[in-house]
Structure 1
Amino acid sequence: MVRFLFFALLLFTVQGLKAQNQVYENKVFKSNLKTVQCYNSQKEQSFPIINLKSNETITFAFDDLDGGQKNYSYTIEHCTYDWKSSRLNTMDYLETFKEDIIFNYKYSFNTLVKFTNYRLTLPNDQIKPKIAGNYILKVYENNKPENVVITQRFYISNNTVNVGAEVVPSTDVANRNTKQKVNFTIFHQIPIANPNSDIKAVVMQNNIPYSKIVNTKPLYIRQGSLVYDELNANEFWGSNEFRKFDTRSFRYNAEHVADIYRDSIQNVILSTDLANKSSRYSNQFDENGNFFIRNTDGRDNITDSDYAAVYFTLSATPPTAGGTAYIVGAFNNYALTNENKLTYDEAKGRFHGKIKLKQGLYDFKYIWLDENNKINETAFEGSFFETENNYQVLVYHRRPGSRFDDLIGFANINNVKNAK
């Protein structure tokens, strides 16, 4: 009996360590997989959240530049508010099977770079969640769950509370022209035993993972409402409007494109960017970091849009003695990887880099990761209170005795216009 308990404890420990080693963030593990998209199917590139037991779905897609047809499967796992495994049994959060094969795929047509596009929608007849919360989608190859190639976050809300939010200038006089502060109130009619321990509220800017701020305690607890407007809380750099470029066609130089030439693949040289050193805000339209796969050279955006090597150049000096510059946007999940890293040419005083991207419209920005691994998003872009940004507020509730964080409310607001 003692021996049995020992091995049971050992197995539980090993499983726990495996769960800790899992990746619960947006990540692509293979270089041949590109253009990962995940959004509410009602609006392309919208925040990937749906209401529980509704007709809404999540659209997920990616390209495999190896071409041909591969055996990709997927599963989903429930997570805590801070993106760790909830360690629930699949029967606790799924009312269907726990895995399925991606059957929906299309081959590229008339492109120099051959690829296969894979696509699925959630929930579906094979995988249907039955509780709200954070979920991680895991795509794996050859029926081997341990061979994960993509992980992608999405959200399911109960929508049992309402969230009212506003964006105001920073309360710090020194930052009033450069920072934006999010105040919000949770309006509820459900019993909340202890708001200081049972409620977590996460605020993000433009769905950028590293921007998130976690609120653990409301400033005021009132009958039917929880108020979060503490001084100096939930403040974000306004940053600047995203830079952008247009590669919908390789037949002419569109916005921010300096040159296009063709060898084994298409090559796009973007106009040289400058660091923003202006003290005044300049308004320009952007998509808050998003990208849209489009082409005017073919008939189908998914299969006829080709890939190109896109060359970026930033004329600027390093902000600090040590550190690295990166190109980020929704197209790479704002990931700080070698592919998105810029190389500095000291002789020319320029950063440069190359990324393989599919035809379309892209927002991007330059950020600096200093020698202490601290992200500086204003070093090359500047920061202004007037900058138009989307903010997401997610409210989680862990009921007394419950084993998971329930996503009970969501708000997507814009400091200039009404966001959807």
Structure 2
Amino acid sequence: MRLRISILLLFITCRTLAQNQPMVYEDKTYLPEIKTVQFYNTKKEGSFPLIPLNSGEQVMLSFDDLSGQSKILNYTLEHCDAQWNSSRLSPIEYLQGFTEDRLMEYRYSAGTRQKYIHYELTLPNQNLSPRLAGNYLLKVYQNGDQSKPVLTRRLYVVGSKVSITAQMVPSGNVSQRATNQKINFSLEYAGLNVQNPYTDIRTLIMQNARPETGIWNTRPANIRSTQLIYNDILTNDFPGRNEFRHFDTRSLKLNSERIGHIYRDTANTVILLPDPKRDQPDYVFQYDNDGKFFIINQDGRDGRTDGDYAHMYFTLLANKTAFDGSAYIVGQFNNYRLDEQSKLKYDGSLMRFYTDLYLKQGVYDYGYVWVDAKTKTPDDTVLEGNHFETENDYQILVYFRAPGARWEELVGYRVLNTAR
């Protein structure tokens, strides 16, 4: 009885601390009971959360609440600049319809060991839609109070006013040609009133939609009439990294690839096969989803509400110890965050790192990041390897601040795949 009371008090304490967290302008979940957050363009599940302005396209937000209690949830959008600082505009200037709305679409789970409430939201909708192009922070919060955040997600609304041409070329650094992927690109901005292309336009390139990989381009190497050319030999040179690892729990009735054992009792437990270190000199092709995850339940009809949760046990054979540094597991499923939830523990008797994550049924990509004890610098090539042959998506986003404007617009977008 005392143990149950202690667990309840611990949960309440964690929840209170989460509610007291300040809202930040990044992808983040603030409550421990909120799981499996997905945010993508409805044309393709798992896609980059970007829509053209006034195009009729929509993004879908979905998540589960494992507390089992329905909440009064509200949401709104806030316009931001290219570096995700508030534009400090009035909501009336950048929103059409209401300035906030209530999240009304939810369903209860059915036939699962873990009970939850599944929420969904599509944007733009008849009650709330963006008026301007640019970066938007989607905020979901409780009881109409933004000081009680539930989650935040970054939304990109593009007003296509520039054309982008891009290609991958060998690294300008000969010593890195076996590992790196260099991106050269050019912009045609004839449709914009640009007074100074060195200050009015800036461009961000991300690898696999990971903000921590982003490289800013503020000065083109060359200007030809209304064309900006970014091909400096030292810029936009990315580590190719490696294909993501993956596991498949679409069914909890049989062992698929990478699954060692499945135990089904009062809760589901899945033991994955040990993950070896992959810092080998030779590239080995492996199909992946560029870090994404997809919710699928082959044992049911609709994975959104009949997909179950399972304790997933990961083991990493890193040939390192806790004295050397720390290992973290990352993917789109946890927004590539390096925190206590993604940090692996170390078992000195077995000389391996391990962790337990509570995840919904589906197909997941993941990888490991190493943080050296001396440098404190995160590096995902130490444990995973680094190869120029790796298949990656690069998102190119072009931002423009018109002369005298109080906000920054997203005026161009292009995705470049290294295999196509």
**Cross-structure match for 2:176:** 175
AA aligned opposite 2:127? Q
8 Å CA contact retained: 2:321, 2:351? no
Counterpart CA distance in 2 for 1:79 and 1:300 is: 36
AA aligned opposite 1:346? G
**Cross-structure match for 1:96:** 97
8 Å CA contact retained: 1:320, 1:370? no
Q: How does 1:247-396 map to 2 (within 5 A)?
A: 247-318=249-320, 321-371=323-373, 372-396=375-399
AA aligned opposite 2:288? D
How many Å apart are 1:67 and its aligned residue?
Answer: 1.8
**Cross-structure match for 2:7:** none
**Further displaced range: 197-206 or 340-349:** 340-349
Give per-residue Cα distances to partners, 1:170-201, cap 9 Å, x unaligned: 11011001011111111121221111111110
Counterpart CA distance in 2 for 1:84 and 1:265 is: 42
Residue 56 of structure 1 pairs with residue 57 of structure 2: yes
Among candidates 189, 197, 200, match of residue 198 of structure 1: 200
8 Å CA contact retained: 1:68, 1:107? no
**Cross-structure match for 2:45:** 44
Give per-residue Cα distances to partners, 1:77-125, cap 9 Å, x unaligned: 0011011111111111112211111101011010000011110011111
8 Å CA contact retained: 1:200, 1:397? yes
The residue matched to 1:197 in structure 2 has which SS?
helix
* TM-score (norm. length: structure 1): 0.92
8 Å CA contact retained: 1:325, 1:368? yes
**Cross-structure match for 1:118:** 119
How many Å apart are 1:139 and its aligned residue?
Answer: 0.5
How many Å apart are 1:251 and its aligned residue?
Answer: 0.5
The residue matched to 1:186 in structure 2 has which SS?
strand
8 Å CA contact retained: 2:398, 2:413? yes
How many Å apart are 1:56 and its aligned residue?
Answer: 0.3
The residue matched to 1:311 in structure 2 has which SS?
strand
8 Å CA contact retained: 1:313, 1:353? yes
Give per-residue Cα distances to partners, 1:386-411, cap 9 Å, x unaligned: 00000000000011111111000000
How many Å apart are 1:263 and its aligned residue?
Answer: 3.0
How many Å apart are 1:318 and its aligned residue?
Answer: 3.0
How many Å apart are 1:22 and its aligned residue?
Answer: 4.1
The residue matched to 1:269 in structure 2 has which SS?
strand
**Cross-structure match for 1:232:** 234
**Cross-structure match for 1:139:** 140
Give per-residue Cα distances to partners, 1:294-324, cap 9 Å, x unaligned: 0111111100100001000001133895532
Among candidates 224, 247, 257, match of residue 222 of structure 1: 224
AA aligned opposite 2:248? D
8 Å CA contact retained: 2:23, 2:147? no
**Cross-structure match for 1:8:** none
The residue matched to 1:244 in structure 2 has which SS?
strand
* TM-score (norm. length: structure 2): 0.92
Counterpart CA distance in 2 for 1:349 and 1:293 is: 33
Counterpart CA distance in 2 for 1:269 and 1:195 is: 54
8 Å CA contact retained: 2:279, 2:381? no
Counterpart CA distance in 1 for 2:354 and 2:126 is: 47
Counterpart CA distance in 2 for 1:294 and 1:283 is: 25
The residue matched to 1:365 in structure 2 has which SS?
strand
The residue matched to 1:309 in structure 2 has which SS?
strand
The residue matched to 1:302 in structure 2 has which SS?
helix
8 Å CA contact retained: 1:319, 1:379? no
Counterpart CA distance in 2 for 1:22 and 1:249 is: 36
Counterpart CA distance in 2 for 1:412 and 1:205 is: 10
The residue matched to 2:199 in structure 1 has which SS?
helix
Q: Which runs of 5+ in 1 are unaligned?
A: 1-20
Q: How does 1:399-418 map to 2 (within 5 A)?
A: 399-417=402-420
8 Å CA contact retained: 2:193, 2:402? no
Q: How does 1:18-33 map to 2 (within 5 A)?
A: 22-33=23-34
8 Å CA contact retained: 1:293, 1:301? yes
Q: Which runs of 5+ in 2 are unaligned?
A: 1-21
Number of equivalent positions: 397
Counterpart CA distance in 2 for 1:262 and 1:299 is: 20
The residue matched to 1:95 in structure 2 has which SS?
strand
RMSD, matched Cα: 1.2
Counterpart CA distance in 1 for 2:352 and 2:323 is: 15
Counterpart CA distance in 2 for 1:52 and 1:283 is: 38
Counterpart CA distance in 1 for 2:56 and 2:270 is: 41
